[in-house]
Amino acid sequence: MGAAVTVATVMMWVGIAVCGGLGAVSRFLVDRAVSRRLPSLFPTGIFVVNITGAFLLGLLTALTLGPTTSALAGLAFVGAYTTFSTWMTQTLDLRDDGRAALAVLNIVLSLALGLAAAALGHWLGGRL
């Protein structure tokens, strides 16, 4: 039985690494695609990443998933897809570049729309 637990643990770590890697690559691709299509002083790419990630996490939390699937999809993929640190760094960059109004807008819109997206995802997931 000890070997089965070890194999399951190793497989979980591998799954987290793979799903986390896919989430990080997805963030990179979405950020670049949005930023290229919507060039702006506002950090549109990471904004879209974080709002869609909030929606996805809200959706996943409402679904009846097992603990392994929840960890792989929610913690690993969505956790690596979304980014608090880049959001804060971009917000500080806006402030430092003399664009305090855009920095505040980034915070307010991200929080308001992120919460709304998570709630919408959770509502939708509860109906699936």
| Binding-site residue ranges for Na(+) | 79, 82
Which pLDDT band holds residue 1 (cuts at 50, 70, 90)?
low
Handedness of CA 53, 62, 111, 109 (dihedral sign): positive
- Report the amino acid identity of residue 100: A
Separation in Å, CA 70 to CA 16, 47, 126: 11, 24, 15
Per-residue pLDDT reduced to its tens digit, 4-24: 678 889 999 999 999 999 999
The pLDDT tens digits of the residues spanning 75-92 come to: 999 999 999 999 999 999
**Cα–Cα distance measured from residue 22 to residue 75, given in angstroms and rounded to the nearest whole number:** 12
Q: What's the whole-model pTM score?
A: 0.91
Q: Residues forming the annotated binding site?
A: 79, 82
Q: What is the pLDDT of residues 25-55, one digit of tens each?
A: 999 999 999 999 999 999 999 999 999 999 9
